[in-house]
């Protein structure tokens, strides 16, 4: 399973993309009149190979129709000119009704996915916000102890808690046969700059995994650096976990029972299900047999009360 650290920008698809064409959503510039791109008027809508995609490649119009805000933002981020509104409208007018109906269904599907992902994010943020900081809620942090560690998010086609329990039971953990840890887990640690792209990648991994589908659950793995002497001094835990297996617990990698290997259930801190509920492994860092139970955030005493 490839590791795809990509952060999708969740936006509302505009109910009528025609109403956005030519306004600030497109940067307020018509590609056919942009003085920085002479010769635009020489291009034909459905001919030419559009070597620089000067805002008029018809292949881009479908993406704009289905996800206008995302398409616009990605083009801006890549330094590409805005979609040409005149050519876009001409393309839309000649579009067969059945094709437009298919794109309407795609746009509705994306809107439903975005709504679900926002719901999942809000639920996780209200229950285990520590995950967005690449750390653990208090109960799991106490079970781990005072050691540096990286967390990893794995998405293995288990959506419900029953599927997650069955998967861990059948594989003695999360299967990593033929893969390195970082190919099966999107890994992060607290030394990373989580105010920038790394934080966006972490949020995506927690909310929706590498598939960017929040309806597929995520296992939360922990990679503690218990033998720091086996790694270069000053290296961040994520790098150590990826490159210096000898610095990790001796029992972190076990047989999956099927001729391959797995990350031991002992180091699976929990599971995020399809609805954003977090299921804590009550045996985290204690026993190899997983025990996933619904996590209920307990009130913690305020240190100020003991002053």
**Could you tell me the residue ranges of all domains in the chain?**
17-95, 129-306
What residues contact 34, with CB distance under 8 A and at least 6 apart?
A: 40, 81
* Mean of pLDDT values over 22-33: 29
List the Cα angle 9/27/35 in 5-degree steps.
Answer: 140
Q: What is the pLDDT of residues 189-226, one digit of tens each?
A: 999 999 999 999 999 999 999 999 999 999 999 999 99
Q: Looking at the predicted structure, is the pLDDT value of residue 33 above 60?
A: no
pTM check: above 0.85: no
CA 38/CA 113 separation, integer angstroms: 40
pLDDT of residue 307: 52
Q: Looking at the predicted structure, is the pLDDT value of residue 27 above 70?
A: no
| pLDDT band of 108, cuts 50, 70, 90 | very high
**254 close to 173: Cβ distance less than 8 angstroms:** yes
More confident residue, 304 or 182: 182
Closest CA to 273 of 179, 134, 161, 151: 161
CA 271/CA 277 separation, integer angstroms: 8
């Amino acid at each position: 399973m490839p590791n795809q650290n990509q952060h999708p920008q969740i936006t509302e698809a505009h109910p009528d993309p025609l109403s956005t064409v030519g306004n600030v959503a497109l940067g307020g510039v018509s590609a056919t009149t942009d003085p920085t791109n002479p010769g635009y008027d020489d291009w034909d809508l459905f001919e030419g190979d559009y070597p620089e995609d000067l805002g008029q490649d018809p292949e881009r119009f479908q993406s704009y129709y289905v996800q206008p805000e995302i398409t616009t933002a990605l083009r801006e981020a890549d330094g590409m000119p805005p979609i040409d509104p005149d050519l876009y409208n001409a393309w839309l007018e000649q579009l067969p009704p059945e094709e437009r109906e298919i794109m309407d269904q795609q746009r509705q599907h994306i809107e439903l996915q975005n709504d679900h992902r926002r719901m999942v994010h809000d639920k996780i943020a209200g229950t285990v916000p520590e995950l967005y900081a690449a750390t653990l809620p208090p109960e799991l942090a106490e079970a781990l102890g005072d050691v540096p560690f990286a967390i990893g998010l794995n998405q293995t086609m288990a959506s419900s808690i029953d599927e997650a329990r069955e998967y861990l039971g059948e594989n003695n953990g999360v299967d990593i046969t033929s893969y390195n840890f970082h190919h099966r887990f999107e890994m992060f640690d607290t030394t990373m700059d989580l105010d920038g792209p790394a934080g966006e990648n972490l949020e995506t991994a927690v909310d929706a995994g590498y598939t960017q589908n929040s309806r597929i659950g995520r296992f939360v793995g922990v990679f503690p650096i218990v033998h720091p002497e086996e790694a270069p001094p000053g290296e961040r835990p994520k790098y150590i976990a990826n490159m210096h297996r000898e610095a990790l617990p001796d029992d972190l990698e076990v047989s999956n029972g099927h001729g391959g290997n797995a990350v031991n259930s002992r180091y699976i801190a929990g599971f995020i299900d399809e609805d954003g509920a977090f299921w804590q492994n009550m045996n985290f860092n204690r026993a190899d047999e997983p025990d996933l139970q619904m996590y209920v955030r307990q009130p913690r005493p305020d240190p100020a009360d003991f002053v």
